[in-house]
Amino acid sequence: MTQTQFQVVILATDKACGNSRLSPIDDNIPHSLLPIANRPLISYQFEFLEKAGFETKSDNPIIIVVNEASEEKIRQHVSEIYKGLEVEFFVLKDRLASCEILYRIRDKIKSEYFIILNANLVLEETFIRQMADIHRSGEAAVTMLLKPAQKVVEQPSKKGAAEAPSSSKKELIFTDYIALDEKKEKVIMMEPGTEIEENLQFNKSLLKHFPNLTIYSDLQDTHFYIFSRWVLELIVEDQKEKYPLFSDIKKHLIPYLLSCQIPNIKRQRPLPESAFNLTQKISQEMSSTASPFNQFSDINIQKKKTIKCLAYILKNGYCMNVNTVKSYQQINRDISKGDLSLLPLEPKLEKNYFIDPAANVTPTQVGPYCVIGASSTLGSKCSVKFSIIGKHCKIGDNVRIENSIIMDHVNIEDKCTIKDSIICNDVFIKAGSSTVGQYLTK
């Protein structure tokens, strides 16, 4: 599959992209290098891009926006594993909002369409071809990938119990109220749950143009967007203004584009000419010359002056935004189950677990859905269930680990119990302690 028309921008800055509620586990680790089933988060994106067939042409590289601090590590990781992809790094020295980032890298984006991929997204590539087609054929300004909210119920019974009650309030932050038209094609409105207090308000003039719309609270914005190039021009023009309107893609740019779908609305920033593309113009000219009635050409002018923002609702394939601790735990579980196309790097063994050959582990101590990284050692009479243990960990005797994530270089002494917890890099746990439902960092 050739994807030369599409250029990918990965926003891999720390915390900057989207609402991130991963503290404390990302305090010391760059967000894009958080281990998920012992693989850095960013590696899933590269896997996605590779599988989706983004070409290695050097004139159309993948642009990855990173912070100064994490550049070295990510660069190292990329050069080691993904040699096939042409990647260009853009290093940020300061914190910038996403539109400002796009403004900075405007000269690097050359293709007709560009994809914004948030580095917290892990996804399978099955949908991308269809979504790209929809964007192209629909001549959309933006096409957003939406996914139906997953049913929380499906969790294995033992685990979810602890975190379920507290989740509802936090989840609201990541709830979007998304209005689609009756054919579920166009996005008409997108209100983040954070912006709404009690009532969801909307103008009746909006309803006049889209009199039959459906508001979904069970669709999630994945922060995966395909933009047409002219949107970049819009951003560039905007940034030249004294007070730019757009700073965040989701908070400012997309609502603005959505509002431009209403014909004749007063636009604070004029859309560039290229927004109304060629085929529309031709059809407009043809019909206006062919028809003796003025009304028709008026209708066409009206059509010409609008843009489209489309939605693509994910039907199958895995997709997860890693933006909360809960989703972080969830994705670790999902991937270590081993039934997705995304897998841990460690080889899968017969009992449905992944153990690195270089790990010093007696397989009988390890239950299913576990991942154990290279050079980690387990003491005698340990038991590990539904858990992930990173590289170079040292775990003493009689340790019970259940439903937890243990990152690299963790040292756990004898007779510890660890349950429903996340243990970050370089943590030392004293003998005999019990850790339940905690997130430990160094």
- Tell me the window of 11-19, 81-89, 133-141, 215-223 that interacts with other proteins (CB under 8 A): 215-223
Of 105-113, 134-142, 295-303, 331-339, which segment contacts other proteins by CB under 8 A? 295-303
Minimum CB distance to other proteins smaller for 244 or for 263? 263
291 binds other proteins (CB under 8 A): no
- C-beta closer to other proteins: residue 89 or 177: 177
Strand partners, 297: none
Q: Is the CB of 236 or the CB of 299 nearer to other proteins?
A: 299
| Residue 200 interacts with other proteins (CB under 8 A): yes or no | yes
Q: Does 2 bind other proteins (CB under 8 A)?
A: no
**From CA 213, how far away is CA 176, in angstroms rounded?**
15
Question: To the nearest whole angstrom, how small is the minimum distance from the Cβ of residue 297 to other proteins?
Answer: 9
DSSP character at residue 191: E
- Subset of 153-192 contacting other proteins (CB under 8 A): 177, 179
Q: Residue 32: is it exposed, middle or buried by C-beta count within 10 angstroms (0-12/13-18/19+)?
A: buried
- Using the rule CB under 8 A, is 81 a contact of other proteins? no
Q: 295: burial class by Cβ within 10 Å (0-12, 13-18, 19+)? A: exposed
Q: Which of 15, 85, 86, 193 binds other proteins (CB under 8 A)?
A: 193
Selected from 53, 156, 211, 363, the binder of other proteins by CB under 8 A is 211
CA distances from 134 to 5, 227, 238, 251, 432 (A): 14, 12, 27, 24, 58
Stretch that binds other proteins, among 294-302, 358-366, 389-397, 418-426 (CB under 8 A): 294-302
Site string for other proteins, 300-339 (x = CB under 8 A): -xx-------------------------------------
Query: Residue 195 interacts with other proteins (CB under 8 A)?
Result: no
Nearer CB in complex with other proteins: 212/364: 212
Q: Which is nearer to other proteins, 85 or 200 (CB)?
A: 200
User: Which segment (134-142, 213-221, 227-235, 307-315) binds other proteins by CB under 8 A?
Assistant: 213-221
Nearer to other proteins, 286 or 301 (CB): 301
Report the distance separating Cα 156 and Cα 386, nearest Å.
10
For other proteins, the binding residue among 212, 289, 316, 364 (CB under 8 A) is 212
Q: Which of 216, 313, 345, 367 binds other proteins (CB under 8 A)?
A: 216
Residue 343's closest CA among 50, 37, 31?
A: 37
Q: Which residue in 137, 279, 289, 294 binds other proteins (CB under 8 A)?
A: 294
CA–chain centroid gap for 411, Å, is 32
* Residues 218-277, interacting with other proteins (CB under 8 A): 218-219, 264
Residues 121-150 that bind other proteins (CB under 8 A): 149
Nearer to other proteins, 90 or 296 (CB): 296
Smallest separation (angstroms) from other proteins to the CB of 150: 13
Cα 109-146-52 angle, rounded to 5 deg: 50
Toward other proteins, which CB reaches closer, 37 or 258? 258
The whole-angstrom separation of Cα 190 and Cα 70 is 32
Residue 21 CB partners (closer than 8 Å, separation 6+): 170, 173, 323, 324, 325
- Which among 220, 233, 201, 255 is positioned nearest to 118, based on CA atoms? 220
Q: How far is CA 295 from the centre of its chain?
A: 45
Least separation, in Å, of the C-beta of 208 and other proteins?
5
Judged by beta carbon, residue 167 or residue 341, the one nearer other proteins is: 167
- Asked if residue 194 binds other proteins (CB under 8 A), the reply is no
DSSP secondary structure letter of residue 179: E
Phi, psi of 221 (to 5 degrees): -80, 125
Q: 423 near 407, Cβ under 8 Å?
A: yes
251 class by beta-carbon count within 10 Å (0-12 exposed, 13-18 middle, 19+ buried): middle
Q: How far apart are the first and last CA of the chain?
A: 45
Q: Of the two residues 162 and 301, which places its CB atom closer to other proteins in the complex?
A: 301
Of 328, 232, 400, nearest in space to 23 by CA:
328
Q: Is 93 in the site for other proteins (CB under 8 A)?
A: no
Residues 177, 193 contacting (CB under 8 angstroms): yes
Residues that bind other proteins (CB under 8 A): 149, 177, 179, 193, 196, 198-205, 207-208, 211-219, 264, 294-295, 298, 301-302
